[in-house]
Amino acid sequence: MNLVILILSIVVFLISLKLLSVVNYRGEHSYFTEIKQNCFSLICGLSVIVSLLSATYQTWVLVGSPNSFAGGYFVLGTALLLVIASFVLFYKFSQRES
């Protein structure tokens, strides 16, 4: 079950990054369009944060929930990997859209 939750959180992470990269902030927009874009970005950003935390926690559970420095290394490594992946994927998704 933990593996399924980990895979689901990674899929939500990727979909949220893809949707977040589609938002276009350039150009003149009406106030309603800007409010809609900001709300959409907020929802996608929150789902990215929740999926990042969930994937980190599920990785920690899958490696045996160590309470020593090994657990900290797994949590820090997973979080760092996902943050770097988010920057790279956001850049690639936004370049593909423009």
Question: Interior CA angle at 70 toward 68 and 71, to 5°?
Answer: 75
Domain boundaries, position 16: 2-97
User: For residue 21, which of 96, 72, 71 has the smallest C-alpha distance?
Assistant: 96
Question: Interior CA angle at 30 toward 26 and 36, to 5°?
Answer: 80
Token digits for 11?
């899929």
Number of structural domains (the chain) is 1
pLDDT higher for 65 or 24? 65
Gap between the Cα atoms of 12 and 46, Å rounded: 11
Q: What is the pLDDT of residues 8-63, one digit of tens each?
A: 999 999 999 999 888 877 777 788 888 888 899 999 999 999 999 999 999 999 99
The pLDDT-based confidence of 78 (bands split at 50, 70, 90) is very high
Mean pLDDT in residue range 67-72: 88
SS3 content of the chain, % helix, strand, coil (to 5): 85, 0, 15
**What pLDDT score was predicted for residue 94?**
85
